[in-house]
Amino acid sequence: MKNILLLTLLITCCYNIQIMAQENITAVDIIKMADEKVRGKTNTSVMEMEIIRPTWKRSVTMKSWGRGMEYSMTYITAPAKDKGQVFMKRVTEMWNWMPSIGRMIKIPASMMSQGWMGSDYTNDDILKESSIVVDYTHKISAEENIDGHDTYKIEMIPKEDAAVIWGKVYKWITKDEFIQIKSEYYDEDDDLVKSDHSYDFKIMDGRLIPTRIEILPADEEGKKTVIYIKETKFDIDLPESFFSQQKMKRIR
């Protein structure tokens, strides 16, 4: 009887601690935990990206490596005409190695708004990933149920001196697993530009993560980009020195 009472007290205590932790959590905490959930400290993945348009569609497969939000490298494995291309992000710079012409190209500011590999995911999205914490003010604007998940709705407003293209961003992150399941991106006139949605949650390398992400431009019916995560591993040995132009030329 004493053991049952003790167990009941322990369960109640743990539950109360969890409730207190949830009550004291900040919007920035939620954003950081959601990002760490899908990245880890480092990661490597195998992915497929499907670009869908009203009259055609095409697929791109790739391997990727990442270290936090500031370093990433992507090696294109298909289709044949793009195979061997490598893209690298190092903090505030993006580079593209094109083996077919033997050239290393720094992606200029004028190309930041263009779709990466012709998709709805822009070069600016990739480069500014690390700014979601430092360049915005965050607040929990609501708690909503999205697709059966209880979520925090995080409102992100850019700081006055921030070099970002969005006027406002909303992110919906689940309360239980801190999974980002939806985002909306607005311009300075408060018009919706695009949204993304996460589906097909699976356990990969010990973590529950979405394995299908759809990016939909607003007011462009029939257009979307779908990213499928095929494999992923977290917290691998991946030093900062991995992300170099020399490595871009040798990676496979």
Q: What is the pLDDT of residues 118-163, one digit of tens each?
A: 899 887 777 666 678 888 999 999 999 998 999 999 999 999 888 7
- The domain that holds 140 is classified in CATH as 2.50.20.10
Q: What is this structure's pTM?
A: 0.85
So what's the pLDDT on residue 14? 41
Sign for the pseudo-dihedral over CA of 81, 196, 184, 192: positive
Question: Would you place residue 20 in the very low, low, confident or very high pLDDT band (cuts 50, 70, 90)?
Answer: very low
R_g of the chain, CA atoms, integer Å: 20
The total of structural domains in the chain comes to 1
Give the tokens for residue 108.
Answer: 């200029």
Helix (H/G/I), strand (E/B), else coil: 48: strand
| 202: pLDDT strictly greater than 50 | yes
**CA–CA separation, 9 vs 91, rounded Å?**
49
What would you measure as the largest C-alpha separation in the chain, in angstroms? 77
Q: What is the pLDDT of residues 89-125, one digit of tens each?
A: 998 889 999 999 999 999 886 776 788 888 998 877 7
Q: Report H helices in the chain.
A: 2-24, 27-39, 123-127, 131-134, 245-250
The boundaries of the domain holding residue 192 are: 2-250
